Amino acid sequence: MPKTEVIKRPIEKIGWDLKKSAWSAVIESLAIIIFGILMIVWPDITIAVIANILGAIFIVSGIYQIINYFVVKGQNDFFNNGLLVGVISLLVGIAAIVIGDSIANVFRIIIGIWMIYESLVRVNTAIKLHSVGIQSWKYIVIIALIMLALGLFVVFNTGAIFQLIGWVMVVAGIVGIVGDVMFMQQINTVVDKLTK
């Protein structure tokens, strides 16, 4: 196998990994936008549906954990907490379905934390871009800080109505996509600098 072909494969893999990461971030931003639109148009229904979906997931997970505990003889394993995890998951799932309206604040906090996480990922990306000399890192930091501020607003503004939170999510998602597109435009430059 020629030497150039051996070198070419890792370079292609680096580029592919960067593109995959960027597209994953775009999909997450689109998900934030979609949730935001749903919160604007149908806030009450959206919360109820999400509560029921989460409840069903926890219930199925709980039942699986409980059955699995007895099937694999987990009671003989001191480190197997499957039964406890299963019972707690089952109770959380039932609670989410029965008192779905009351978990609206929890849902708001989860959305905010998700947005904060997304912003920190972008700050990390900007730091890496700066380390290889890509000038657009500054714009990605600005975008990440805007998203961080919006995420903090969602987490700490307990009085915000869900339509407002929906609009904040839509703006955060759009800002995120702008940052992701800026990053994708620099992928070839990043790969060149990393492989020199």
Distance of CA 9 to the CA centre of its chain: 30
Please report whether residue 72 resides in a domain.
Answer: yes
Please report whether residue 174 resides in a domain.
Answer: yes
Residue 187: name the closest of 18, 17, 44, 46 by CA.
Answer: 18
Please report whether residue 15 resides in a domain.
Answer: no
Please report whether residue 186 resides in a domain.
Answer: yes
Please report whether residue 10 resides in a domain.
Answer: no
Task: Tell me the two tokens of residue 81.
Answer: 């907490």
Task: Tell me the two tokens of residue 162.
Answer: 């869900």
Helix-strand-coil split of the chain, %, nearest 5? 90, 0, 10
Convert the pLDDT of each residue in 61-84 to its tens digit: 889 888 887 877 655 555 556 778
Please report whether residue 20 resides in a domain.
Answer: no
Convert the pLDDT of each residue in 17-66 to its tens digit: 777 777 888 888 888 888 889 888 887 777 778 778 878 888 998 898 88
Domain count, the chain: 1
In the predicted structure, residue 1 carries a pLDDT above the cut 50 = no
Convert the pLDDT of each residue in 129-186 to its tens digit: 788 787 778 888 888 898 899 889 888 887 667 778 788 888 888 888 888 888 788 7
Question: Residue 185 is part of which domain span?
Answer: 28-194
For 59, 94, 106, 180, the CA distances from 99, given in Å and listed in that order, are: 14, 8, 12, 37
Please report whether residue 167 resides in a domain.
Answer: yes
Please report whether residue 14 resides in a domain.
Answer: no
pTM here is 0.59
What's the pLDDT at 77? 55
In the predicted structure, residue 13 carries a pLDDT above the cut 50 = yes
